Homo-oligomer: A and B are copies of this chain.
Amino acid sequence: MTYSEKALIFCISVNLKFILVHINFQSKRKEGNICGKKPTYSVRMRASRNAPHEQGGKHISGGERLITYSGLQEAVDGLLHKGFSHSRGIPDFMQIQLESINEPIETIRPLPVAFHQSDTPEKGQAIARKLLQKAGIPPHMIEKAYENIAEYAEARGAVLFDIRAGERIDGRGNRGVRVSRMDWPSHDFQKWAFTHNMPENSRIKEAHAIAAKVCAHPGIIAELCWSDDPDYITGYVAAKKLGYQRIAKMKNAGDESGCRIFFTDGSIDTESCIHFLEKQPVFIQREENI
């Protein structure tokens, strides 16, 4: 037997092992265990350090997927890997929750994109303030929100800021509001990233998916956001009127404080807004596919 034939047999045996594991996981679907309509699952991950979040642990990472049964293992592995790959540190607690989605899934288009160069956080934040004003938020209310940004950064999730009352209204304290149950099918995102000359990575995909879902709520005027990842200094302002306005530098490298504020127009029913953000399942999809 030639060397290449021996090597071939070895490779085939290794492949078979992976294929058998894969088939086994898939066969559950075909065996009728998952009969009829293909269920879609919301998969959510949160990771923290020193304790679970609810016991005051430091937030390390989070992630969301909306995926059919056949993609579950890959989604769970991806979130497991994401949780252990964040520059905020190695978690000593992680929770991955799966829930099947029983209500209709809404399809939302990604926001148009623009980019603003800024070589200092001050310039970046100045651009953000102008964009928020352009979105329709009165300057004095923008300043009021900015005054509380350090406090709002303590929340794990986002905060809702009412631009009429000039105050935070979500009532969620350190937990904040976690935008959840949304995803952007990879094939569609890849085409979008190619067309818009955007980096094809999960951070961009997740940020744009969140912004599109948030801006789809009728009572949310704009979102101001930059990451709590000390290695990631780019942020954005997103609004129905403006689309997704990326701003190159919104903080200094090494800074672990982030920001996620949803500016609401004073007309919303807070609980139903939070329900939409946390519970309404949403797929992001480019116009061509709808």
* A residues whose Cβ falls under 8 Å from a Cβ of B: 2, 4-5, 7-8, 11-12, 14-15, 18, 24-25, 28, 33-34, 39, 69, 72-73, 76-77, 80-81, 84-85, 90-100, 102
- Bound complex: CA A62 to CA B168 (Å): 40
Partner of A12, one of B11, B33, B34, B80: B11
A5 neighbours in B (Cβ, 8 Å): 4
Which residue of B has the minimal Cβ distance to A12?
Answer: B11
- Bound complex: CA A102 to CA B51 (Å): 12
Partner of A73, one of B69, B80, B98: B80
Which residue of B has the minimal Cβ distance to A78?
Answer: B21
- Bound complex: CA A18 to CA B24 (Å): 18
A96 B81 Cβ-Cβ under 8 A: no
Determine how close the nearest CB of chain B comes to the CB of A56; give it in whole angstroms: 15
Name 6 A/B residue pairs within 8 A (Cβ), A-sorted. A8-B11, A11-B12, A25-B81, A33-B85, A73-B81, A96-B97
Residue from A91, A96, A100 with most neighbouring chain B CB atoms (10 Å):
A96
A24 B92 Cβ-Cβ under 8 A: no
Residue from A25, A28, A90 with most neighbouring chain B CB atoms (10 Å):
A90
Determine how close the nearest CB of chain B comes to the CB of A112; give it in whole angstroms: 33
- Bound complex: CA A110 to CA B107 (Å): 54
Which residue of B has the minimal Cβ distance to A100?
Answer: B92
B99 A97 Cβ-Cβ under 8 A: no
Partner of A97, one of B2, B81, B95: B95
A84 B8 Cβ-Cβ under 8 A: no
A34 neighbours in B (Cβ, 8 Å): 90
A96 B96 Cβ-Cβ under 8 A: yes
A80 B76 Cβ-Cβ under 8 A: yes
A93 B99 Cβ-Cβ under 8 A: yes
- Bound complex: CA A99 to CA B96 (Å): 12
Determine how close the nearest CB of chain B comes to the CB of A163; give it in whole angstroms: 36
A4 B8 Cβ-Cβ under 8 A: yes
Determine how close the nearest CB of chain B comes to the CB of A29; give it in whole angstroms: 9
Partner of A84, one of B2, B7, B15, B28: B28
